[in-house]
Amino acid sequence: MDKKIFWKRCMSTLAVTVGLTLTLPGAPLLAADKVVKIGNIIPLSGPSATVGEQGKNAREMAVAEINAAGGIASLGGAKLELVYADSESKPEKGVGEAERLINTEKVNVLTGCWNSSVTYPTTAVAERYGVPFLVPVSVADKITEQGFKNVFRIAAKDSWWTRDQFSFIKDMSAEFNTEIKKLAFVYENGDWGQGIAGNWVKLAKAAGYEVVLNEPYPSTTTDLSPVVQKIKRSRPDVLMMVSNAADAILLTNTLAEYRVRLKALISSGGGHADPSFIQAAGKSARYLFDIVEWETDVNKPGAREANEKYKKQYGQNLTGEAVDAYLAMYIIKDALERAASLDPEKIRQALADTQLSDGPGMIVGYDKVVFDEKGQNKEASLVMVQINDIGNGLERITVWPKSARRVGYTPVFPKP
């Protein structure tokens, strides 16, 4: 007798299912003006929302410039159109959004996703559908080591970041005649932190440093003084860190409070490069070395102007993440010009053949964008900056490689 109740419920629900699926509108594709759709999967809400916002701003600035300059000439002046999807920093959301952007929004190119844990599975979707995927920043090595044809990365990868951090230590130690023996590693317990710390351990062993502390911490932590005490007691010469924004601020402040004496603090971008980091950490951040893709004082034509324009529009300095997103739009433009077609395979081929060395996008520290056979930008390089106050408030000053060092600045090393 309950059968009916059951059946009727089944039916009412199925009726809703059907009704719903039938009313789902296919996004109407108005082919009035020719546009090239760029799908961007970035964290707009959730824990990495600050980074997502920077990436969005930078993309918008670049696309506005490109469109104002006449769009894509070889496609009859086609305009670029940005479509965003919020990943909330969750891999499964990123994957779902990639499906949607490819199938429903019919995007021609994808970019994103900053969180390596999102980018990794999401690029697999793009590969399956044969849609070119340009990764501005997601540093995990494995992203370009999946054997995918459609994935290209602008930023340097994990192993280059760590490699350069160690070269930096060696160079500084020689330049300032300071002996560095003991290292301490402190990092957020995630995909990113674990990946970088794994490389550090190998590099330290190869270079003969003693690792006195290798400590992950939960990135949602509310108190880092126990970790800071551990750092203090292990007496390292150099502390190396990987942090997201909230914990980067907390860690830096707590280190200052406990007066931990170190010869140098070296961080790995991310939270330490967040625009609110300097504001929120204040004086405690002084003398910190941070490795980044890009800095406002980079000696490249157009960089200062781009930064000023960005600052005027969005109230913050450009960051490495933002610049890579900005450059990504120009790389796409360049590839589209050469492809002269919206055929995904042609775009992919054009991206693979990229030899970009000029134009407004090239405000990065290196001279050329060239992808290797795995899709990694071969030329990507990194700079080391020091946070210091030389009369204009705290700022980030490029110090390494020596050729890129800001003229007239002498790095403070070891930390007083």
Cβ of residue 322: shortest distance to other proteins, in angstroms? Answer: 14
Residues 24-43 that bind other proteins (CB under 8 A): 24, 26
Q: Which is nearer to other proteins, 169 or 262 (CB)?
A: 262
φ, ψ of residue 79 to 5 degrees: the values are: -95, 150
For residues 135 and 367, the answer to whether their CB atoms sit within 8 Å is no
CA dist 147 and 373 (Å) reads: 9
Residues 260-319 that bind other proteins (CB under 8 A): 274-277, 279-284
Q: Which is nearer to other proteins, 178 or 279 (CB)?
A: 279
List the one residue from 33, 145, 210, 257 that touches other proteins (CB under 8 A). Answer: 257
For residues 363 and 343, the answer to whether their CB atoms sit within 8 Å is no
CA dist 252 and 258 (Å) reads: 10
Count Cα atoms within 13 angstroms, Cβ side, for 93.
17
Cβ of residue 290: shortest distance to other proteins, in angstroms? Answer: 16
Decide: is 401 part of the binding site for other proteins (CB under 8 A). no
Q: Which is nearer to other proteins, 16 or 69 (CB)?
A: 16
CA dist 225 and 231 (Å) reads: 10
List the one residue from 39, 52, 360, 411 that touches other proteins (CB under 8 A). Answer: 52
Cβ of residue 271: shortest distance to other proteins, in angstroms? Answer: 9
State the number of binding residues for other proteins (CB under 8 A). Answer: 87
Cβ of residue 168: shortest distance to other proteins, in angstroms? Answer: 26
For residues 86 and 58, the answer to whether their CB atoms sit within 8 Å is no
Residues 198-217 that bind other proteins (CB under 8 A): 215-217
List the one residue from 117, 162, 165, 354 that touches other proteins (CB under 8 A). Answer: 117
Cβ of residue 299: shortest distance to other proteins, in angstroms? Answer: 29
CA dist 342 and 185 (Å) reads: 47
Count Cα atoms within 13 angstroms, Cβ side, for 336.
25
How many angstroms separate the Cα of 73 from the Cα of each of 78, 221, 284, 341, 356? Answer: 7, 51, 50, 11, 17
Residues 345-384 that bind other proteins (CB under 8 A): none
Decide: is 171 part of the binding site for other proteins (CB under 8 A). no
How many angstroms separate the Cα of 44 from the Cα of each of 41, 51, 56, 332? Answer: 9, 8, 9, 22
Cβ of residue 90: shortest distance to other proteins, in angstroms? Answer: 5
Decide: is 253 part of the binding site for other proteins (CB under 8 A). yes
CA dist 301 and 318 (Å) reads: 15
Give me the residues paired with residue 84 across strands: 40
Q: Which is nearer to other proteins, 328 or 363 (CB)?
A: 328
Cβ of residue 358: shortest distance to other proteins, in angstroms? Answer: 31
Q: Which is nearer to other proteins, 23 or 403 (CB)?
A: 23
Decide: is 392 part of the binding site for other proteins (CB under 8 A). no
